[in-house]
Amino acid sequence: MGTKREKMRSLFIAIGDCSVVPLSYLAAYFIRFGLIRGFHDKFPLIFIIILTLSYVIVFYFFDLYASTKRYNTASSLWQVILAVATSAILVSLLKYIFYLFPIGRGILIIANIIIIISVFAWRNCCYYLFKYFTKPRSVIILGTGKGAESLGKIIESNRQELKLVGYLANQEKEASIREIRNHLNVIGSIIDLTKVIEDHPVDVIILAETSRLSDQITKSLLEAKLKAIEVIDLSEMYQRLKGRIPVRLIEDENWFLKTKGFNAVSNLFIGKIKRFLDFSTSALVLLLSLPLWPFIALLIKIDSKGHVFYSQNRVGQHESIFSLHKFRSMIEGAEEDEPLWAKKNDQRITRIGWFLRRLHLDELPQLWNVLRGEMSLVGPRPERPEFVGALKSQIPYYSLRHFVKPGLTGWAQINYPYAASMEDSREKLEYDLYYISHMSLLFDLKMLIKTGQILFIGR
């Protein structure tokens, strides 16, 4: 999830695109005919607006508004070319639908060549502009524990946005502070917070240790806040930077009660809209994909012996058990002896199964689970009952993921591969908890778009 600064940068890039697109078509018209008189007749204002929005929407789908990304690579150029080509096809169809005559081929080709060059150059200019004019925010961390050290490493890897000034140790004895200094950049003690703020430019204070703060420290933090210095909890900052809730760093179980979020789960209005969108979208996709089903079934039967469909018990909302349906992608009887974790390069996967999994076509029958209300389009992936008991006993807060319906796609699936171990499941849970905390219809839409990017452009 991007910061406010990243969102503003993305908006700045999009505003540039809103100028590039119509000006490119105007330039193409001039190059083609040697004048601009008559351009308005072929490209009315309302269509220019539709045309521009079409390009911006397609660019967003192709992930061309990542403000911290460097675009001066061959893969980025190819990404821009694909996005512009897709946009050109879309606007040509729209022009014909609305005005019953297409955009001239000459204008279309010239305009989109200009757009490719301009869009590629504009993004590279923006990258260096942002890098030159943006000053990283200075951060100090109150605390020197494992959580503080872990977050410090994340901040160090994000130097364009943040600059770690140092840590403030919780020990009052100078000898203890010196001992910690051996592996951390400790610039003082927590009791010296006010003096440290005076001596160093500070924009953000991260509270890595909140349970032992004295009245004096609390007062110093309040004074810092009144000076427009952001004071943020370690877990909240971790969420902002990594898009996950770090269960290992949550020592107080009341944290979930005090933190923001976890509201949409109980919102009946959002729940009804989400269910309506799940039902209508899955019904439409199911209907459109039905012509593929006979071919998929034939390929499965030709490639290996066994059934076309595969059903398996999964744990759903409120830990109810339901039968999940998929096209079979493994050899028949792959788990007759005992359930096993799915893993990368799994030898049980058939040749056609690898192809189906690559394109996620094996999951098409799960649309029936969505229609039945057992699953949602977006949510945590449903886990097998054989694994859930062990996961609940070894991973704190694991049961929280069962307060929402499992999904075809989700925040964890987008950010993390198959869970092949207990540690993988712990990390995926952190993403799932982040989704539940920030759940909204807009967040669901973003994840569906991200899933589309993964399926169609491999991002």
Report yes or no on 72 lying in a domain: yes
> Of 97-106, 249-258, 340-349, which one has max mean pLDDT?
97-106
φ, ψ of residue 375 to 5 degrees: the values are: -135, 170
Give the pLDDT band (50/70/90) at residue 341.
low
Q: Do the beta carbons of residue 120 and residue 76 sit within 8 Å?
A: yes
Q: Please state, for a pLDDT cut of 90, what percent of the chain lies above it.
A: 39
Give the pLDDT band (50/70/90) at residue 211.
low
pLDDT in tens, 393-403: 888 889 999 99
Q: Do the beta carbons of residue 430 and residue 403 sit within 8 Å?
A: no
Q: What's the pLDDT score for residue 194?
A: 87
pLDDT mean across residues, the chain: 86
Q: Are residues 310 and 445 located together in one domain of the fold?
A: yes
Domain boundary among 105, 133, 161: 133
Q: Are residues 165 and 74 located together in one domain of the fold?
A: no
Q: What's the pLDDT score for residue 89?
A: 92
Q: Report the SS3 class of residue 93.
A: helix
Report yes or no on 249 lying in a domain: no
Give the pLDDT band (50/70/90) at residue 344.
low
φ, ψ of residue 329 to 5 degrees: the values are: -120, -5
Q: Are residues 96 and 220 located together in one domain of the fold?
A: no
Paired strand residues for 205: 140, 231
Q: Are residues 359 and 397 located together in one domain of the fold?
A: yes
Among the residue ranges 54-63, 246-255, 270-279, the one predicted with the least confidence is 246-255
Query: Has residue 195 got a pLDDT over 60?
Result: yes
Q: What's the pLDDT score for residue 175?
A: 47
Q: What's the pLDDT score for residue 378?
A: 95
Q: What's the pLDDT score for residue 173?
A: 45
Q: Are residues 78 and 151 located together in one domain of the fold?
A: no
Q: Are residues 310 and 438 located together in one domain of the fold?
A: yes
Residue type, 285: V
Question: Cα–Cα distance between 324 and 374 in angstroms, integer?
Answer: 9
Average of per-residue pLDDT across 210-220? 77
Report yes or no on 248 lying in a domain: no
Q: Are residues 294 and 442 located together in one domain of the fold?
A: yes
Q: Do the beta carbons of residue 219 and residue 197 sit within 8 Å?
A: no
Four-CA torsion 159, 162, 165, 168, nearest 10 degrees: -120
Query: Has residue 304 got a pLDDT over 50?
Result: yes
Report yes or no on 250 lying in a domain: no
Query: Has residue 174 got a pLDDT over 60?
Result: no
Give the pLDDT band (50/70/90) at residue 20.
very high
Query: Has residue 151 got a pLDDT over 70?
Result: yes
Report yes or no on 255 lying in a domain: no
- The better pLDDT of the pair 170, 95 is held by 95
Give the pLDDT band (50/70/90) at residue 343.
low
Structure tokens at 83: 């996005």
Question: Cα–Cα distance between 297 and 313 in angstroms, integer?
Answer: 22
pLDDT in tens, 362-395: 999 999 999 999 999 999 999 999 889 889 988 8
Report yes or no on 259 lying in a domain: no
Q: What's the pLDDT score for residue 334?
A: 63
Average of per-residue pLDDT across 140-158? 86
- The better pLDDT of the pair 320, 265 is held by 320
Question: Cα–Cα distance between 435 and 410 in angstroms, integer?
Answer: 8
Structure tokens at 184: 């951390």
Query: Has residue 50 got a pLDDT over 70?
Result: yes
Q: Do the beta carbons of residue 245 and residue 430 sit within 8 Å?
A: yes
Distance of CA 35 to the CA centre of its chain: 46
* Axis-axis angle for helices 441-457, 422-438 (nearest 10): 130
Among the residue ranges 7-21, 253-267, 322-336, 346-360, the one predicted with the least confidence is 253-267
Q: Are residues 313 and 429 located together in one domain of the fold?
A: yes
Query: Has residue 115 got a pLDDT over 90?
Result: yes
Give the β-pairing of 321-327 and 309-315.
antiparallel
Buried b (16+ CB within 10 A) or exposed e, 303-341: bbebeeebeeebbbbeeeebebbbbbbbeeebeeeeeee
Domain boundary among 195, 212, 242: 242
CA angle at 62 for the pair 87 and 278, rounded to the nearest 5°: 100
What count of other Cβ atoms lies within 10 Å of the Cβ of residue 72?
A: 12
Q: Are residues 290 and 156 located together in one domain of the fold?
A: no
Q: What's the pLDDT score for residue 339?
A: 64
Q: Are residues 118 and 160 located together in one domain of the fold?
A: no
Query: Has residue 459 got a pLDDT over 70?
Result: no
Domain harbouring 209, CATH code? 3.40.50.720
Domain boundary among 242, 272, 292: 242
Average of per-residue pLDDT across 26-37? 91
Q: What's the pLDDT score for residue 144?
A: 83
Q: Are residues 153 and 279 located together in one domain of the fold?
A: no
Average of per-residue pLDDT across 151-176? 77
Query: Has residue 223 got a pLDDT over 60?
Result: yes
Question: Cα–Cα distance between 435 and 400 in angstroms, integer?
Answer: 11
Give the pLDDT band (50/70/90) at residue 184.
confident
Structure tokens at 332: 């028949």
Average of per-residue pLDDT across 205-229? 83
Q: Which domain holds residue 51?
A: 4-133
Give the pLDDT band (50/70/90) at residue 450.
confident
Stated pTM of the model: 0.81
Q: Are residues 90 and 187 located together in one domain of the fold?
A: no
Report yes or no on 86 lying in a domain: yes
Total domains in the chain come to 3
Report yes or no on 423 lying in a domain: yes
Question: Cα–Cα distance between 81 and 456 in angstroms, integer?
Answer: 14
Q: What's the pLDDT score for residue 390?
A: 87
Buried b (16+ CB within 10 A) or exposed e, 208-217: bbbeebeeeb
Q: Report the SS3 class of residue 204.
A: strand
